[in-house]
Amino acid sequence: MEVALRSALLAAAALVAAALTVPAPAHADVALREVMFVGNNWDGTADVIESRGTFSRIARINVVPDKQARLTEIYLNPIKLAYFLGIRNGPGEGHDQLVDDMYTTPDGTALVVSRPSFADVVSLNLATGAINWRFPVSGYRSDHMTVSPDGLRVAVSASTGNTVHVLNIYTGQQVASFATGDKPHENVYTRGGRYLWNMSIGEVNTDLDDPFWDWTKGDRRITIADTAASYATRVVDMRQRLDAAGRSDLSDAVRPAVFTPDESKLYFQVSFFNGFVEYDVASDTVTRVKMLPKNPNTSDDRKTFVNDSRHHGLSMAPSGDKLCVAGTMDDYATVVNRATLAEGPLVTASKPYWATVSGDGQSCVISEAGADVVTVISFATGRKVLSVPVGDHPQRVRIGKVPQGWTGVG
């Protein structure tokens, strides 16, 4: 009996090891080309553009090739349908949310995409456009993702399941998961992948936006998972840190966030605020708060802010000396000097929804969801360089890699 038990345990261990092992890249010897992916949320497409220089478009990918199958599945399930329609009429602003976040596999053969309205993550074959694998998240909506520094793990927020799933990027098998606050949103890896930070933003789909009703917004916190210790977690309650800094007027719903290159400081946006917060990691304190200009044509009525976010989009120059801020509801973007927190020129933009860094590190690239373009802004001058047309309602913009010579699917 002991022999049989031992054999069973060894077999189980082998299955677990197989699930956690990332296979070698299928085309490790193929030369890769750096590109930029733009997720067109309402189109269900991703534009692939040059990551520097002219930023010209290379191709457009359909990220919902299984759309009819997913819609049939949803319409046959009353609960799924209720959430699907809730997403359309809530965060989708009357549209289905078909692509939120995107990352390529290290070998450049697949694009991994989170699709909020379909509550899943899929891997798309960049040669054929077919789906390699599909992972349904817990709950009814998928959201922001991040990829580990080695490119082998992708983490996705399940925003109604209050869970972060960590997946093998090649197989889609779940490696780990951990519980979060209400409505997990942004995810960031630190210390070479040792820690995974998740920011939960709470309830953003109600009109109870007056500060008096803040208690209805739910459990908002930063959850930090230790990937080397079975994803054990600790919590940072930013409410306490903001109050200690004398900013009890600010929401503690942490939105886009970015670390300095040495990871000593975290900069983040919060709900309803036209500005950002500086947090010192070692001392665990809020050190500075920067308010940015209001657009006089923007209503201060919080109910008019898209999903509670007045400003949504933040990136940092590789040198760590400049921040790029997307002032979503105020219709501008600006480059901020990190030492002085002085903003540069206000670059007019229509509903800028995200900010990232160009492949050469020289520019900030914002998505203008209201104009269906991505706009390039020089970190050096703070001024607009150019805009490139993309699909309907661009949001997330990510650097990725494709095989050299790749010009599209099929």
- What value does the mean pLDDT take over residues 111-123? 98
Instruction: Look up the pTM and report it.
Output: 0.91
**Predicted pLDDT of residue 178:** 98
Sequence-separated (6 or more) residues with CB below 8 Å from residue 2? none
Q: Which amino acid is at 277?
A: V
Supply 276's token pair.
């950002």
In terms of residues, how long is the chain? Answer: 410
Closest CA to 121 of 93, 151, 153, 92: 153
pLDDT of residue 27: 52
Tens digit of pLDDT for each residue in 142-169?
Answer: 999 999 999 999 999 999 999 999 999 9
User: Which pLDDT score, from 0 to 100, does residue 297 have?
Assistant: 94
Residue closest to 101 by CA, chosen among 55, 71, 141, 145: 145
- Rounded CA-CA distance 139/216 in Å is 20
Work out the pLDDT band at 384, boundaries 50, 70, 90: very high
Is a pLDDT exceeding 80 seen at residue 363? yes
Domains, the chain, with CATH or none: 28-403 (2.130.10.10)
Residues 259-290: tens digit of each pLDDT: 999 999 999 999 999 999 999 999 999 999 99
pLDDT at 212: 86
pLDDT tens track for 50-106: 999 999 999 999 999 999 999 999 999 999 999 999 999 888 989 999 999 999 999
Which pair of tokens denotes residue 403? 């095989």
Summarised one tens digit per residue, pLDDT across range 176-215 is 999 999 999 999 999 999 999 999 999 988 888 888 888 8
Evaluate whether 362 touches 306 at the Cβ level (below 8 Å). Answer: no
Q: Is the pLDDT of residue 220 over 90?
A: yes
Q: Has residue 127 got a pLDDT over 70?
A: yes
Q: Which of the 8 DSSP states describes residue 329?
A: T
Q: What one-letter code names the amino acid at 168?
A: N
If you average pLDDT over residues 113-117, what whole number do you get? Answer: 98
Distances (CA, A) of 222 to 176, 197, 202, 218: 18, 7, 11, 13
Q: What is the mean pLDDT of residues 27-48?
A: 92
pLDDT at 23 over 60: no
Q: What is the pLDDT of residue 25?
A: 53
Non-local (6+) Cβ contacts of 294 within 8 A are: 274, 300, 330
Say if residue 11's pLDDT is above 70.
no
Mean pLDDT, the chain, whole residue set: 93
